[in-house]
Amino acid sequence: MDIGALRAETPGCEQVTHLNNAGAALPARPVIDAVAGHLELESLIGGYEAAERAAPAVERFYDAVAGLIGADRDEIAYVENATRAWDMAFYSVPFERGDRILTTTSEYPSNTIPYQQLAERRGVRVDVVPDDADGQLSLDVLKAELAKGDVRLVSINHVPTYNGLINPAAEIGRLCRAANVLYLLDACQSVGQLRVDVAEIGCDMLSGTGRKFLRGPRGTGFLYVRRPILDTLEPPFLDLHAASWTASGTYEIRDDARRFENWERYVAGQIALGVAADQAAGLGLDAIEERVTALAARLRDALSERPGVTVLDRGRRRSAIVTFTVDGHDATALKMSLREQGINVSVTQGGQMRYDAAAVPAAVRASVHYYNTEEELARLVAAVPAPA
């Protein structure tokens, strides 16, 4: 991996030390050109006409994303963001009163709110699987909960947004398959930084985003749905793209994952997300994972040596996300101070993680990517203030 060349094709690297890749990574020049080029085409010949001319690039998206995660192209849908992709999958599950949803303590608030909505609307029950000694989802407890029965869905995140760990997604998949239970994996923080193979993981549905570690445009995402279960899931809403009006009073839903799409979409973004997926595949997800996890480990070690700094990350495997606090310093104020010095980080709000009793109220989140350098990590560490 030629880091110099990768940084040269990333204009933002000349402007800022960007350690907020779990929020939105810096796009590379091919992605920027794909968006700008299609928008320019739309301005010259019209939006519908541009989409028709760019049809091969639009279709390339399905092959690119499918190849990236080990799926087939007819199992991929283009969706406007990861949250909506997850929603389309979740709300298509035929829940009945008394069904149980199993999730993890580190689940995203955007997912836990729909759990609560269905608990009120349909009488389902949400059970949170506790952490094991390493801080990740306990496989022993999950197995025991599955054995109790009435579980309609296991729904977890692959990489939490705030504590550095990587959940044991493949082991969870084996337990779900053995229990014949649907498995929905939110991979918005893992696709692009880790090797993600849906066959190896064993998930039935997987949602992802473009803007984070895939380095695609904002306002883009995708949904994977395993072919054998497609016909068991009816999307929560349909349009003339997802279904056909076959006769008065009847309709027929598409037989592929595009039943979860809608006709109107951000065409430039779809093209560019395919470009981003091809770029990640070309670099190699194993190589990307090796670099980002090594950079994150180096950053954790360096931060741990600073007086007053507490690194909060846990888990047997750890991701590119590094979270920490500094004694006597407000996390948001520290983020803004670092930004004034040209260093981008984010803040995690632990108060939103209501399933996790171990979450702190707020922490600084620094998330690395392969284009970051050791010098940039040192710059962040040097800018961390002494305890107040």
Encode 182-221: b = buried (16+ Cβ within 10 Å), e = exposed: bbbbbbbbbbbbbbbebeebbbbbbbbbbbbbbbbbebbb
Domains of the chain are 3-27+284-383 (3.90.1150.10), 32-282 (3.40.640.10)
Q: What is the pLDDT of residues 217-259, one digit of tens each?
A: 999 999 999 999 999 999 999 999 999 999 888 999 999 999 9
pLDDT at 249: 84
Number of H helices, E strands in the chain: 13, 15
pLDDT of residue 378: 98
Q: What integer pLDDT is reported at residue 349 of this predicted model?
A: 87
pLDDT tens, 317-343?
999 999 999 999 999 999 999 999 999
Those residues of the chain that have pLDDT short of 70 are none
C-beta separation of 299 from 312 below 8 A? no
The pLDDT value given to residue 357: 80
- Per-residue confidence (pLDDT) for residue 160, from 0 to 100: 95
Q: Are strands 76-79 and 221-225 parallel, antiparallel or unpaired?
A: antiparallel
Q: For residue 125, which amino acid is it?
A: R
The pLDDT of residue 268 is 98
pLDDT score at 375: 98
